[in-house]
Amino acid sequence: MKISTILDYIDNGHIALPEFQRGYVWNRDQVRRLFLSLYQRHPIGGLLVWVTESRTVSHRGEGSLAPGVVKLLLDGQQRMTSLYGVARGNPPSFFDGNEQAFTGLRFNLDIETFEFYQPVKMRGDPLWIDVSALISKGQAGHEMLVEELAQNLEIGTKAVKYSVRISRVLGIMDIELHIEEVSGKDKNLDVVIDIFNRVNSGGTKLSKGDLALAKICADWPDAREKMKAKLKDWEGQGYSFNLDWLLRSVSTVLTGEAKFQYLHDRSADEIQDGLKRATKFIGDLLNIIGARLGLDHDRVFF
C-alpha cells in the first residue's frame, strides 16, 4: 500500500492504534534517518496490523474509528507517526509524545540531506526546502519551487537538476509498504497482545515496562491515561517521575516485588487498587519530604 494511502486511512479512521500501544518515542535523528532512507529508496520494513471489527476494540486518541473492519497498528507506529507528522505538518489523532521530533524538517537540494531547521544555517538559503510544505502542496508546490529557483541567478541551470530531486522527495509518498495482517476469529485480544509483545520485544523498541503496560491496558484501557494524569500532577509539584517507575511502585504494593513479571497475572481490579494505594503512599512520602526536609523538587533524588 502506498504511504499516501496509509496516511489517508489514518485520517478516515481505517487505520489506528490499539489502546495498549505506547506513545511516540522517536527523536529527530531517527526521523531524519527515516526520510533519508526513503529518499534513497532503501527498505524501511513493513507494517503489522490487527484486522478486527471497530466496535469491539479500544483505540488510542480522540479520533473515531471507521465503521466495520479496521486495521490497528501492532508494529510500525513510530514510522507512520513520523511520516504523518512531516507529511501533514501536524500529528495524527492518536499522537502522544513530543511533536518537536518531526517539526521543521528540511531537505538540502545540493547535498541531498535532511536536517531540522536551524535559523542561522538555513534562513534565506533557497536550497533548504521545507519538506512538510512541499508534500502538502504536492505538484503545485514543486512547480512553484522550480520557478523560484530558476529565477535565482546563482542557481541558474542547476534548477533542472534540483527539480529532479524535488520530485524524488515528493515520490516518497508513492512508496509501497508491505502490510502483514493478523486476522481471524481466533485472534482475540489476549492473542494479539502476545503477538504484539513478541514482535516488539527485540532490540530497544519497547521497555519491559511498555510490554507490561500493554498487557494491563488490554484489561483496563484507561490504565495509561490514569497513570499519566498522576505523573502530571506530581510534575506540577516539581517531581518528574516516569511510567516505568510508577508501574514498579504499583507492582511493589501488590506483590512485594518491583519486577514487571509479577504483574502479568493480576486482574484489572487489582491493578486499579494497586495504583490507588501506591499513589497514596507516594503522596504521603512526598508530603513528609516537603514538610520535614523542606524539599519541593526531585533534583536530589537518585
Give CA–CA dist 31/105, Å, rounded: 9
Share of the chain above pLDDT 70, in %: 95
**Number of domain units in the chain:** 3
Greatest alpha-carbon pair distance for the chain in Å reads 73
Domain annotation covers residue 302: no
3-state DSSP assignment of residue 243? helix
**What integer pLDDT is reported at residue 158 of this predicted model?**
86
Provide the residue range defining the domain that includes 245.
208-293
Instruction: Say if 298 falls within a structural domain.
Output: no
Query: What cell was used for 288?
Result: 513528609
Asked if residue 188 and residue 80 are part of one domain, the reply reads yes
Say if residue 193 is exposed, middle or buried (CB neighbours under 10 Å; 0-12, 13-18, 19+).
Answer: buried
Residues in the chain with pLDDT < 50?
A: 203-204
What pLDDT score does 204 carry?
42
Q: Is 67 part of a structural domain of the chain? A: yes
Instruction: Answer yes or no: do 93 and 181 share one domain.
Output: yes
Angstrom CA distances, 122 to 7, 105, 113, 127, 130, stand at 29, 11, 13, 8, 10
